[in-house]
Amino acid sequence: MQSHRGEFTVQASAAMGQHLRVKYDSNDEAALSGIDDACIGTLKDRVLAADDQCTVIPLNVDGTRIMIADGAIGIGDNVYPAASGKVSATVAGQRIGVAVTAATADGDWIEVLPTERDSNDLLATGVNALTGATMTVTAAMCKGGHVTTSHSGAATVNLPAGKVGMRVTITKIDANAAAHTIDPNGAELIQGAATFAAVDAQWDSVTLEYSGAVVGWTIVGKHIS
């Protein structure tokens, strides 16, 4: 593999379209990047067949990139990873950058300015208060936000579908001894467990971060009485 003006070549795992986002697969070959994958860049040219050498433009090279939209994206919209190497205006994973041209439909080419993480990406969203026997944490609250929970008895705190980089702190503020059980979406886990039920005293708190489909939610901090 050689690097020239930021570009580098790698063997492709399959035929792929121009300007799609790619990752390294388990064979160290370029493959289409999904929402939660570590993207290495975009394809400079179309790949005709598996095992061809392809040129990748890293995302950290100065300038804009042509990418492939999965639907409508407006000028100035934040751009996020989508399935099959495409990009989307739908919040998912870690923000890639800002659209400097518009896309109207799936498959459109769009020019994107990659940007560093800033106030538009996974920034704290303040304190969000939830109450009731069933409480729902939204994706917007998982941008480094803080959620307080309160109920007169046992309660379930439902998490949204995880996206890489989501982080949220949940604190129980009522004075009773009833557990507020944190329940991930679907089959997602919290450090290998289906739920987390240790938040059962006043001011107990846990900070969770989503690390992808394999790992799920991890506990990156907690205060349990």
The domain boundary, picked from 98, 118, 138, lies at: 118
Give me the pLDDT at residue 164, please: 84
The domain boundary, picked from 118, 151, 169, lies at: 118
Do residues 142 and 176 both lie within one domain? yes
Do residues 169 and 110 both lie within one domain? no
The domain boundary, picked from 118, 141, 170, lies at: 118
125, pLDDT greater than 60: no
Confirm if 64 and 100 have CB atoms less than 8 A apart.
yes
Do residues 90 and 142 both lie within one domain? no
Which residues of 133-216 form beta strands (DSSP E)? 134-136, 143-150, 155-158, 167-172, 180-183, 205-210
Confirm if 147 and 171 have CB atoms less than 8 A apart.
yes
Residue 81: CATH number of its domain: 2.40.300
Do residues 1 and 70 both lie within one domain? yes
> Domain total for the chain?
2
Say how far apart CA 189 and CA 185 lie, in whole Å.
Answer: 8
Q: How does pLDDT run across 72-106, given as a tens digit for each residue?
A: 999 998 898 999 999 998 877 677 889 999 999 99
Do residues 77 and 140 both lie within one domain? no
- The listed range with the strongest mean pLDDT (77-86, 112-121, 124-133, 140-149) is 77-86
Do residues 160 and 114 both lie within one domain? no
Phi-psi region of 20 (alpha: psi -120 to 50; beta: other; left: phi over 0): beta
Do residues 143 and 191 both lie within one domain? yes
Which residues span the domain enclosing 81? 1-118
Structure tokens at 189: 């886990």
Do residues 107 and 161 both lie within one domain? no
Structure tokens at 70: 């999965």
Do residues 215 and 131 both lie within one domain? yes
